[in-house]
Amino acid sequence: MHEDDPSGSAEELARRLIGEFHGQSALGKRVPRRLKPDQRPDRFRWSGPGPDVRDPKPFSELCDQLQKKDTWSAKLAEGKIFSLWPMIVGDQIASHAKPLHLTDGLLHVQAESTAWATQLRLMQNQLLEKFSHHMGTRVVRALKITGPKAPSWKKGERHVRGRGPRDTYG
């Protein structure tokens, strides 16, 4: 009886399957046995009860690995500055000044008035110490503190260069 012959009885089919299970084909030929666990390629090995490189990792560990890369650390530090701004500089300063952006260690801060901008410039060294304490010395190396934006007298899309029209009634 051949393997592809569907007319075999259930008894012969059962014998053939049991023989294949024990390593023999229906024709009496030896079928290669399964590989032992230590002979299998890595993708077929069981991990077992101990720790293994293929075990699932906690999400925090994956985030830590991404943070160690240079491209991620700068953006994470910038986000940390914006999220922890009131804690780093204090509530009073945070209510009168806000960070705009961080570029190559230079933090741009905009104060709500020129008086606050002057005060923050005088406190610049103390603020840099606070940043180095909370975030490390390489993140913020200098501050550029500006006051509020001056109002623009340009109305519409066309305007005259230079001083433009001033007091024309006198």
Q: What is the pLDDT of residues 33-91, one digit of tens each?
A: 565 656 655 555 566 777 777 778 888 888 887 777 766 666 777 788 888 899 999 99
Q: DSSP for 115-143, please give it.
A: HHHHHHHHTHHHHHHHHHHHH-TTT--EE
Between 15-19, 23-27, 124-128, the lowest mean confidence (pLDDT) is in 23-27
Computed over every residue of the chain, the mean pLDDT equals 77
Domains annotated on the chain, with CATH: 69-146 (3.30.300.180)
Is the per-residue pLDDT at 5 higher than 70? no
Q: Is the pTM of this model over 0.75?
A: no
Q: What percent of the chain has pLDDT over 90?
A: 26
Strand, helix or coil for residue 24: strand
